[in-house]
Amino acid sequence: MGETFGEALRRFRTRAGLSQPALARRVYVAQSTISRIETGRQTEIDEDLAERLDSALEADGTLLARRAAFSAPDHGHPALGESVVASTTDYDRGRPVDADYVDALRATIHHLVALDSAHGGGDTSRLAVRTFNSAHRKLTAGYYLPKVERDFEAVTAELGEVAGWLCYDAERQTEARQLNLEALALSRLAGDRPMELFVLSNQAMMSLHTGRPQEALRIADSVLEHNHLPPRLGVLFRIRRARALAALGDRTSALVEYARVRSLFAEGVSRHDPSWTWWITDRELRWHEGMGLTSLGDWSAAIPRFVAAVDCPRFPRGLYVSRTYLLEALVRAEAWPDAETVALDTLPMVGEVGSIRAERVLGGIAARSHHGGSPMSASLSDIMSEISNRIRAA
C-alpha cells in the first residue's frame, strides 16, 4: 500500500533537518506524539494536525494524502459541551496551582484550537473566555506555587491570545480587544517575546477588521522598526502593514509591501521563527492579497487570490471563511455562474461551522438580492435566501 503517514512524516522531518522535539514545538504537540506517529503506534491523525505537519515540513499536501489513505476514521473533536481540561476542583478547594494545572491548561489550549478549526469561534469563544477568566483569577490572586509562576503567566497569556482570537471570529470585538490587552501584559511579565508578537499581530488584524487601519499600521511599523525579525515573523507583520496601507487607499505602497512579503516568504522558515508561525503558508498569503485588493475596490483581481486560498486543503473553519470572501468577491464582480457554484459549495457549511465573522459577510451578500434592480440571478438569490434561513436557525 505504499508509505504510511508515519514513514512519510519521518522522511519529511529528516529532509527538513528537524529533530522530533523541534517539530513538536512548531506544531504545538508533545514530542511523544511525533514519536508515536512515526513508529506507527498512533495511526489516528486529526486533519488539523496533519495540515500543521504538512505546512511545517513544506510537504505540499503529501502528508494530508497519506492521512487520507492510512489513518483510521476521524472521530471528530470534543463536543462543545464536554470538558476539555482536567478537573480543577481540587484547585478551587484550597490546592494552589502547580505544574499539573499548568499542563492541563496547555492541553485545553490544544483542544480549543482543534474546536476552532472544526467549529469556528461562535460557541468555542465562550468556553475559552470562561477558562481564561478562571486561570486569570488564580494568577492575580497569587494562588499558585512560586516555582510555576513564570510558566503559569506564559500559559495564561497564550490562553488569552486564543480566547481573543476566538472572540474576534465570533464578532465579540470589545471583548477580543480586552483579552488581547490582558494577554499582552501577561506575555511581557512572563518574558515570552514570541507570544507578545503573536498578540500584537492579532491586534493589528482586529484593528483592520474594526475599521482602524491607522492603528494597524502603527502596530506593524512599531514591530518592524524596532526588531530584527526572522523571515516568517517578518512576513506576518508586513502582511499586516500591506493590508493597512490598502485599507487607507494607498495602492502603490500596498502593492510594494506585498512584493516584499513574497520575497521574504521565499526565504523559508528559519530556526529563529516561533513554532506558531506554521500557519503562515502560501494559501494564507493569497488570502491576504485578495483582502488587500478588495480594500482597494479591485474585486475582479481579488478573485484568483481567493480561488487559490480555497483550492488548498483547509480545516472546516478556514475553508468556510475563505469560501465566504470568495463568494463576496464574485458577487461584487457580478460573476454570477461562478458565484452560484461557490454559494452551493458554502451552503452545507452554514450552521455546521460557527464563524460569526463569515456569517455577517454572507448576510451582506444575501441583502444585495433584495435591493431593487440587483442583477443577481434568481437561482443565486434563492441559494442566498436559504443561507440566510440557516444562519438564523443556527
**pLDDT tens per residue across span 213-255:** 999 999 999 999 987 899 999 999 999 999 999 999 999 999 9
Q: What residue spans define the domains of the chain?
A: 5-70, 80-191, 311-394
Model confidence at 193: pLDDT above 70: yes
**CA triple 122-128-131, angle to 5 deg:** 150
- Nearest by Cα to 121 from 357, 314, 345: 357
Query: Grid coordinates representing 243?
Result: 493590508
Question: What pLDDT sits at residue 298?
Answer: 97
Query: Grid coordinates representing 388?
Result: 440566510
Model confidence at 369, pLDDT cuts 50, 70, 90, reads: low
Class of domain 5-70: mainly alpha
Question: What pLDDT sits at residue 352?
Answer: 87
Q: Determine the 3-state secondary structure of 84 from DSSP.
A: coil
Q: Determine the 3-state secondary structure of 353 from DSSP.
A: strand
pLDDT mean over 60-65: 83
Range picked from 39-43, 176-180, 316-320 for highest mean pLDDT: 176-180
> Residues 66-110: pLDDT tens digits?
887 654 444 344 444 444 444 444 555 568 999 889 988 888 888
Question: What pLDDT sits at residue 74?
Answer: 40
More confident residue, 271 or 363: 363
Question: What pLDDT sits at residue 77?
Answer: 43
d(Cα 292, Cα 249) in Å, to the nearest integer? 10
Amino acid making up residue 182: E
Q: Could you give the count of Cα atoms lying within 13 Å of 31 in the half-sphere of its Cβ?
A: 5
Question: What pLDDT sits at residue 80?
Answer: 43
Query: Grid coordinates representing 33?
Result: 506524539
Query: Grid coordinates representing 374?
Result: 440587483
**CA triple 377-293-380, angle to 5 deg:** 10
14-18, 177-181, 367-371 — which is least confidently predicted? 367-371
- Nearest by Cα to 327 from 351, 309, 314, 315: 309
> Residues 142-173: pLDDT tens digits?
999 999 999 999 999 999 999 999 999 999 99
What pTM does this model have? 0.79
Quick one: CA dihedral 86, 92, 96, 97, positive or negative?
positive
Amino acid making up residue 7: E
Q: Rg of the Cα trace of the chain?
A: 21
Model confidence at 371: pLDDT above 90: no
Nearest-10 crossing angle of helices 149-169, 99-119: 20
Contact 230, 270 (CB under 8 A): yes
pLDDT mean over 186-205: 95
Beta-bridge mates of residue 97: 144
